[in-house]
Amino acid sequence: MSAIDIILQRRSIRKYKNEEVSAEVREKIIESGRQAPSAANRQPWHFILVTDSKVKEDLSQSRYRAFIKDASFTVVGINLPYDEISEKWGVVDVTIALQNMVLAAEILGVGSCWIGGFYEAKIKEILHIPNEAKVVALVSFGIPAERPAPRPKKELKEILHYNKW
Ligand SMILES: Cc1cc2nc3c(=O)[nH]c(=O)nc-3n(C[C@H](O)[C@H](O)[C@H](O)COP(=O)(O)O)c2cc1C
């Protein structure tokens, strides 16, 4: 499948096979995040790779992210700003890095799901994340055990403007 088809056919995957993603594939996914663009190349990001089953269980205690326990691994994207630029663009930078991982995973046959349904304080407590850092989002990854139907997307004519609003 071409890269464009992979991007167009991606769906959020919340059901995973009881099968590990290999360390080699996992590293390629993480590396795709590390190579992402960031404002003025500040790279104001940290990632926590969660593979431990107890930690997965602790992160799964909500219906918005119950599937984390079945995922092979989850990446927690964290912004740690250290100057004006990384303060202004940090969340965008981390988001781009996480989406690079999502697309790399898709290319490598690994399904994923973004997770924004969390209380930051709870995630910080579970993962011992310092106060000054911001948890941007979590993304779970695993071998897909479902092929969800496409979600409705807005029509182009609703969202695309030509040359002016
Ligand atoms: C920032 C963000 C936060 C999300 N949070 C959650 C979440 O907490 N739990 C969940 O099951 N899906 C979550 N999703 C997945 C969306 O529900 C999903 O992307 C959307 O319904 C479109 O479906 P698709 O990804 O298959 O195109 C989130 C997606 C994004 C981008």
Nearest CA to ligand 1 atom 11: 64
Q: Closest residue (by CA) to atom 13 of ligand 1?
A: 115
What pLDDT does 47 receive?
Answer: 98
Residue 157 resides in a domain: no
Indicate the pLDDT class of residue 121, thresholds 50, 70 and 90. very high
Atom of ligand 1 at shortest distance to CA of 118? Answer: 8
Question: What is the pTM for the complete model shown?
Answer: 0.98
Question: Nearest residue CA, atom 27 of ligand 1?
Answer: 11
Model pLDDT for residues 15-70, shown as the tens digit of each residue: 999 999 999 999 999 999 999 999 999 999 999 999 999 999 999 999 999 999 99
Residue 152 backbone zone (phi > 0: left; psi -120 to 50: alpha; other: beta): beta
Residue 142 within any structural domain of the chain: yes
Residue whose CA lies nearest to ligand 1 atom number 30: 114
Domain carrying residue 55 = 3-147
Percentage of the chain surpassing pLDDT 90? 99
Counting the structural domains of the chain, the total is 1
Question: In the 8-state DSSP scheme, what is residue 132?
Answer: T
Ligand 1, CB within 6 Å, residue ranges: 11-12, 14, 64-65, 113-117, 137, 151
Residue 33 located in a structural domain: yes
The percentage of residues in the chain with a pLDDT greater than 70, rounded to a whole number, is 100
Indicate which CATH number applies to the domain containing 70. 3.40.109.10
Q: What is the pLDDT of residue 79?
A: 98
For residue 160, tell me if it sits in a domain.
Answer: no
Is residue 65 within 8 A of residue 59, CB to CB? The reply is yes
